[in-house]
C-alpha cells in the first residue's frame, strides 16, 4: 500500500508490464482507475482476455473505471458536446485550462470509496504519461498531476500508482526526459524495460532492470538493482538471467 511504481521503456515496448499490472490488480479485487491514453478499450480488453480477465465485466460491476483517452481527444477536438456538469478529464485540450486539474478530479472521484464498496484498495494505472506532453500539457502540469495523485491515492487512500513513461537517453526531447528523471527520484520501484543493444533476437526480446528504491525509505541505504532478460509469449512472459536464454544454451 502507498507505493508508486514507475514503468519505463527504452528502445522497446513496455506495454506488457501495463497489461500485467492491470490483470494482477483486477484479480486481486482492487478498485482500478485506468487512464488509457495510448490504445482503445478493445485493445486492452483483448489482451486482458488472454490473461483470463474480462474488462467489460469489471466495468459493469464498478471495479474498473476506464478513461479512453483516444475517444475523449476526438470528442473534444471535433466539438462533441460535454454532458452538463461533467467536464472532460482532458479539458486542457480545448484551451479552457492549462492545468490537469480536471484529470486529477476524475481520478480522485473514481477512486474515493463509496458506501458499500468492498474493494481491497484503490489503484491508479496510467498508460502512458508521455502522451500528455504530446497533447500539449506542460512538464510542470504533468508533474503537478502526479504529485497530487500521489498525495490522494498513496497517502490519503493508502492505494498504489503504476505509471508507464517512454524514455530515450539519446533523445532531444528535454521535456520528456525531465519528467522521466523526476519520476525516477520519487518512485518506490522502477521496472525499466530496454531493447537489446545487439539488436533483434527471436529468443530474447529485451532486458528488464528492477530497481528497488531503498534509499527513498531510509537514508544511507543503497538501491537494489536486478537485471533479467525476457521473452514475451502469447499468454505470459518468460524471464531468465542474462546469458541463459535458448539462443545461448
Whole-number pLDDT of residue 235: 85
Distance CA 135, CA 168 (A): 19
pLDDT tens, residue by residue, 146-172: 999 999 999 999 999 999 999 887 777
Topology (CATH level 3) of domain 3-79+88-197: Rossmann fold (3.40.50)
CB atoms within 10 A of CB 137: 22
Q: Quick check: 99 and 148 in contact, CB under 8 A?
A: no
pLDDT tens, residue by residue, 174-218: 899 999 999 999 999 999 999 988 888 888 999 999 999 987 777
- What are the residue ranges in the chain where pLDDT is below 50? none
Whole-number pLDDT of residue 70: 86
Distance CA 111, CA 71 (A): 21
Q: What pTM does this model have?
A: 0.91
Please classify residue 146 by burial: count the beta carbons closer than 10 Å to its beta carbon, then call 0-12 exposed, 13-18 middle and 19+ buried.
buried
How does the average pLDDT of the chain come out, rounded? 89
Whole-number pLDDT of residue 115: 76
Q: Quick check: 5 and 161 in contact, CB under 8 A?
A: yes
Q: Cell numbers for 2, please give them.
A: 502507498
β-pairing, 206-212 vs 237-240, is unpaired
Whole-number pLDDT of residue 147: 96
- Domain ranges (residues) in the chain: 3-79+88-197
In terms of residues, how long is the chain? Answer: 249
Whole-number pLDDT of residue 88: 83
List 41's β-bridge partners, or say none. none
Distance CA 92, CA 101 (A): 9
Amino acid at each position: 500500500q502507498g507505493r508508486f511504481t514507475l514503468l519505463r521503456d527504452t528502445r522497446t515496448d513496455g506495454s506488457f508490464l501495463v497489461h500485467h499490472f492491470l490483470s494482477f490488480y483486477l484479480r486481486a479485487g482492487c478498485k482500478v482507475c485506468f487512464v488509457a491514453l495510448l490504445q482503445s478499450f478493445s485493445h486492452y480488453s483483448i489482451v486482458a482476455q488472454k490473461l483470463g480477465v474480462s474488462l467489460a465485466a469489471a466495468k459493469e460491476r464498478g471495479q474498473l473505471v476506464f478513461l479512453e483517452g483516444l475517444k475523449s481527444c476526438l470528442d473534444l477536438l471535433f466539438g462533441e458536446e460535454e454532458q452538463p456538469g461533467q467536464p472532460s478529464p482532458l479539458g486542457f485540450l480545448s484551451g479552457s485550462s492549462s492545468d490537469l486539474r480536471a484529470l486529477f478530479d476524475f481520478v480522485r472521484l473514481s477512486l474515493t470509496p463509496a458506501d458499500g464498496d468492498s474493494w481491497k484498495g484503490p489503484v491508479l494505472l496510467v498508460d502512458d504519461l508521455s502522451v500528455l506532453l504530446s497533447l500539449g500539457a506542460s512538464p510542470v502540469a504533468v508533474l503537478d498531476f502526479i504529485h497530487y495523485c500521489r498525495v490522494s491515492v498513496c497517502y490519503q487512500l493508502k492505494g498504489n500508482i503504476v505509471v508507464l513513461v517512454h524514455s530515450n537517453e539519446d533523445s532531444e526531447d528535454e521535456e520528456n526526459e525531465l519528467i522521466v528523471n523526476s519520476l525516477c527520484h520519487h518512485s518506490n520501484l522502477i521496472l525499466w524495460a530496454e531493447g537489446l543493444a545487439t539488436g533483434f533476437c527471436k529468443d530474447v526480446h529485451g532486458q528488464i532492470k528492477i530497481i528497488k528504491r531503498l534509499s527513498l525509505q531510509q537514508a544511507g541505504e543503497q538501491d537494489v538493482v536486478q537485471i533479467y532478460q525476457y521473452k514475451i509469449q502469447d499468454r505470459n512472459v518468460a524471464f531468465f538471467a542474462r546469458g541463459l536464454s535458448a539462443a545461448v544454451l
